[in-house]
Structure 1
Amino acid sequence: MQQKRAYWRKLDNAAKLFSATSNKKDTRVFRFFCVLKEEVDPELLQEALDRTVVTYPVFLSVMRKGLFWHYLEKSKLRPEVHEECKEPCSNLYVRDKKNLLFEVTYYGKRINFEVFHALTDGTGATEFLRELVKNYLFLAHQSEGLKDVALLDENVTIQDQESDSFSQYYTKVKKKKEKKPKAFQLKKPRKEVGRLQVNEAVLSVKEVLKRSRELGVSMTVFLTTVYLFAIHQEMTKQQEKHPIVLMVPVNLRKFFPSESMLNFFNWIEPGYHFGKGGGSFEEVLEHVKEYFAEELTTERVAEHMNELIALEMHPILRLAPLELKNLGIKAGARYAERDVTAIFSNMSAVKMPAEYEPFIERFGVYTSTPKMELCMCSFGDKLSLGFTSRFDTINIQRNFYRILKQQGIGVEKVEPEFPQPDVPSRLEMKVFKFVSFLCLAAAVGCVAADFNLHPKIRWTLFTAAGIGSMWLALAIGFVKRYNLMKNAMWQLIIVTVGCILWDIFTGWRGWSVDFVLPIVCMVILVSMFIITKVQKNTAREYMIYFVMAGGYGVILPLILLLAGVVRFTPICTVCVVACFLFLAALVIFKGKEFKEEMHKKFHV
């Protein structure tokens, strides 16, 4: 029987951070990839992807914006495979544009799965890629006798996949937060235009495990220590007054049972203060080992998880408008960055059915980051390392590999193969900037002429103000170009408010409220109706914009009518009646969608 998904769902605790803080320089996108031993067939990969989203339909979601929080909404969009043509981990979440939050690309023998972190975490991405690779290899080699093997437990439902495990395991805690010292920050030359630098290497799992066991620690503890030393070798004596601190994500599914494909991770922050004496490899290793043992207990992990969720649950913060929340989250994220030097993500071992292993070379992972990040995962005996940064230096990576060699571990450096980025033309932005410059030049020219010619009527100032008004409408249209309905709503506000201000500053004749306001309200509402028909939008897609435009057309003209500001009342009265009836029709004929949309947009 076909399982039914929820039409929309709230963001999990971690996703709320990613939705608020992502931008073009920090896209919050990570890539999981698989290198095969054969060239990728795009048609077979598309068919494999179509099968995969049937198994994991929770990925077919788009990000929407409510009054208090973002949320994810089920989408009819379907992903299309294409050859890699952009910088790795490029932006996937474009505000005001309804697009899926992941994509699958290929290049040579490599299958790439990139995903916006608000949609899932490393574990969810691993499961999706495993299913995708399995489906591809089955389609490519079924004629040779390769069997289709189910990777997902048949008892796992869609409701399990989209469950919020953060909320499930949250319990109130009262704990006094300890003040953290400011961590050492890498201050290296930035790469030109901020391009992401990717540095890969492959180690032998057996060699790393052997050396780790000789030292009496886990592989993660050993490599964490190597990372700390690699960074320390780039520090000056003056910089040693600050500790080196790594952020190490922790998969909470190892502590709390969960089949969720959403984010369900936390982190610990191992570090070492080299400026306080000591600092041999063995001393740092023992310090890191003790820290991991202390922090990686169910009690400590739950404590940290509950602290973060408690902030989200605060009644005053929950009722703050989304834009205000986003400002607070961004400020908090920037403040928290001072506590961390770099990031180390261990995605653990990727396992595939034995009969599929001969076709696979290795798996790998890396992520977009404003700092420096090391990601790793293993497949068979191959441990793939992926350093990413936006710094124009590889000294820390070089130090890392050199220390490994000193520890008796061979390092096979991999030169990542990427196509020449065919980034979509930036012609739109160039044209917008050029038009903006022309508007500015024209406005400045008018003002200069006004002061030189000394006319009795300051017509050039009015001309400059008119140019400014035109530019503002153009700018809003450009920024909101991905969503015509939202664009129309913004134009409604800009045009009507702008005209009222023009009327006030030119001696108030009332034309703005007698004619412009009601006419523009009705024209925009009709325009929105036409847009929905042309784009074939569903009621859920257009509802909130109809409600906002209709409400605007009722409330503002009605207030002005009752206050006696409107002198020519017929057009304004028609506007209020028409918009009111339009809203009433929405409630009567689309009541279910109306209630659902209001619940989504105003959920706290």
Structure 2
Amino acid sequence: MQQTRAYWRKLDNAAKLFSATSNKKDTRVFRFYCVLKEEVDQERLQEALDKTLVTYPVFLSVMRKGLFWHYLEKSGLRPVVREEYREPCSNLYVRDKKDLLFEVTYYGRRINFEVFHALTDGTGATEFLRELVKNYLYLTHRGDGLADQPLLDGDVTIQDQENDSFSKYYSEVKKKKEKKPRAYQLKKPRKETGRLQVNESVLSVKAVLARSRELGVSMTVFLTTVFLMAIHKEMTKQQEKHPVVLMVPVNLRKFFASDSMLNFFNWIEPGYHFGEGGGSFEEVLQHVKEYFEKELTTERVAKHMNELITLEMHPILRLAPLELKNLGIRAGARLAERDVTAIFSNMSAVKMPKDYEVYIERFGVYTSTPKIELCMCSFGDKLSLGFTSRFDTLNIQRNFYRILKEQGIEAEKVEPEFPEPDVPSELEMKVFRFFSFFCLVAAVVFVALDFNYHPSVRWTLFTAAGIGSMWLALAIGFVKRYNLMKNAMWQLIIVTVGCILWDAFTGWHGWSVDFVLPIVCMVILFSMFIITKVQKNTAREYMIYFVMAGGYGVILPLILLLTNVVKFKIICTICVGVCFLFLAALVIFKGKEFREEMHKKFHV
């Protein structure tokens, strides 16, 4: 029986954070990759990707914006495999651009899977990459007798993959606010280019496990301690008044049954206050061990998870408009960042069918970060460590490996190979900045002329204001260039409001509401109609913009007509009638899509 997907779905608790806080410096993108023992073939990898998406169609989604929340919508877009072409963990979620939230590339013997964190977490990414690599190796070596072995349990449905496990296991709790001491923050100089710095090494799993067992702790506790000590070595005595704190994500599937491919993780924050404690390796290790034992229980993990979701469920916060929510989420995220020094993510062991292991060198993982982050995963006896940062220093990484060596563990440094990045967006931004600067220069010149010569007709100020208006319209067009329908809506608002203000500040002659407002409303609505035909947009894609433009063309002119602000009423009356009939046609002929879009855009 063919399984069906929901056309749209709400974001899970963690995804709401990532959708609000992602930006060019912190893209919230992570890379999971596999290094094979042979060169990657592009066509075969494309075939393997298409096959993988049959198993995991939930990845074929795009981010959309509602009035109260973002949401994910099923998409007919298909990913195209290409050779790696830009900086690792580059932006995948571009606001207003309907693109898939993951990308598969290759370089030499490496298969890269990059994904925006709002779509899935480390566990979901691991499962997707395992399936992708398995399919690629099967297609490549089936002639050698390699069997196609299923990795996903046959009982797991598409609905299971789409389930929001946060909501499933949520139970209301009263959150007690705990005051945390501000964590030590790294103040290293940033790299001039701002590019992500990737530093990788490979350890022996057996060696790390053996040393961890000697010390009576888990591998994660051992490496957490090493990381804390490595950071401490860069601190001054003055800085020791702040604790060093790591954020360590926790896979909630280990505590609650879930087959979800969405985000389902939480985190703990082990740390050590070197200004108060002794600071020896053994003391820090014991402190971290006790912290892990205390926090990694089902009761404590559930409590922390429920506290986070309770905030999301607050009725007042739920009804706040999306842009206001985003401001609050970003502010909260910035405050939370002060509680953490660095991040340590353990993606655990990646397992593949035994027949496939001979073709695989290793797996690896790392992520974009505004701080310094250590990610790790293992395959066989190879433990891959990936440090990422945008700081112009490697001292902490050096300290980390020195401490490991003192513990009897040797690290093999890996020099990651990347092609020269293709960055056309940087050229676009440079051109836009030059344009903005020249507009500013011209405006300043005309204001200076007005200040010095005081012409009877203030044409200098009008020209400066005109330049400002032109810049604003073109700036909005540049920012919203990925979505022509949204661009048109913004131009409608800017042109009409701008003209009304211009009319008001020049003595009010009424031309802005008698002619400009109704004509522009009808022109924009007609332009949107043409755009939908040229781009062959579906009703679900154009509906909300038609509703906004039509509603704007009915409500504002009607208010002006009823209050007798409009003197030449015929054009405004025609505008109200045309826009009203347009909206009525949407409800009558596209009623199902209309109701669905209103539900999506206004869900709380």
Cross-structure match for 1:466: 466
Which residue pairs with 2:250 in the alignment?
Answer: 250
Task: Tell me the distance in 2 between the aligned counterparts of 1:278 and 1:453.
Answer: 73
Cα drift, residue 447 of structure 1: 1.5
- Cα distance in 2 between the residues matched to 1:502 and 1:279: 67
Partner of 1:75: 75
2:289 equivalent in structure 1: 289
1:243 Cα offset (Å): 0.8
* Aligned-pair CA distance for 1:118: 0.3
Shift in Å at residue 54 of structure 1?
A: 1.0
Within 5 A, what are the aligned runs for 1:173-572? 173-424=173-424, 426-572=426-572
Aligned to 2:84: 84
**In structure 1, distance between residues paired with 2:552 and 2:175:** 46
**Displacement of 1:435:** 2.0
Q: Which residue pairs with 2:582 in the alignment?
A: 582
Task: Give, in whole Å, the separation in 1 of the partners of 2:574 and 2:12.
Answer: 45
With 435-444 and 226-235 compared, the bigger mean Cα shift is at 435-444
CA distance in 1, matches of 2:295, 2:522: 61
Deviates more, 1:179-188 or 1:256-265: 179-188
Counterpart secondary structure, 2:275: helix
CA displacement, residues 69-119 of structure 1 (integer Å, 9 cap, x when unaligned): 000000000000011111110000000000000000000000000000000
Separation of aligned partners in 2, 1:594 and 1:37:
52
State the AA in 1 paired with 2:546: F
Q: What displacement does 1:430 show? A: 2.3
Offset of residue 177 of structure 1: 2.5
Deviations 1:246-305 (A, max 9, x none): 100000000000000000000000111111131221111111111101100000000000
Deviation at 1:193, TM superposition (A): 2.5
Cross-structure match for 2:110: 110
- CA deviation profile, 1:193-228 (whole Å, cap 9, x unmatched): 311110000000001111111111111011111111
Letter in 1 for 2:23: N
Aligned residue type for 1:72 = L
Is the partner of 1:276 in helix, strand or coil? Answer: coil
Letter aligned with residue 426 of structure 1: E
How far is 1:581 from its partner? 0.5
Residues in 1 aligned to 2:385 and 2:441: alpha-carbon distance in whole angstroms: 52
Which range is displaced more, 443-452 or 54-63? 443-452
Counterpart secondary structure, 2:193 = helix
Aligned twin of 2:43:
43
Deviation at 1:410, TM superposition (A): 1.6
Three-state SS of the structure 1 residue aligned to 2:417 is: coil
Count of residue pairs the alignment pairs up: 604
Query: TM-score under structure 1 normalisation?
Result: 0.99
Which stretch has the larger CA shift, 456-465 or 318-327?
456-465
Q: In structure 1, how many angstroms separate the alpha carbons of the residues matched to 2:451 and 2:310?
A: 59
Residue aligned with 2:228, SS: helix
5+ residue gaps, structure 2: none
Distance across 2 between alignment mates of 1:145 and 1:424: 45
Q: Does 1:124 align with 2:120?
A: no
Q: CA deviation at 1:425?
A: 5.0
Please report the TM-score for the alignment, with normalisation by the length of structure 2: 0.99
Distance 2:328 2:226 in 1: 35
Residue of structure 2 equivalent to 1:135: 135
Structure 1 counterpart SS, 2:361? strand
CA distance in 2, matches of 1:142, 1:210: 38
Match of 1:147 in 2: 147
Letter in 2 for 1:414: V
Partner of residue 164, structure 2: 164
Q: Give 5+ residue unaligned stretches, structure 1.
A: none
Between 1:501-510 and 1:591-600, the stretch displaced more is: 501-510
SS state at 1:193 partner: coil
Distance 1:227 1:252 in 2: 23
Which letter does structure 1 place at the counterpart of 2:470? M
| Distance across 1 between alignment mates of 2:185 and 2:498 | 46
Q: Show the counterpart of 2:21.
A: 21
Superposition CA RMSD, Å: 0.8
Could you tell which deviates more after superposition, 503-512 or 297-306?
503-512
2: distance between equivalents of 1:427 and 1:389? 24
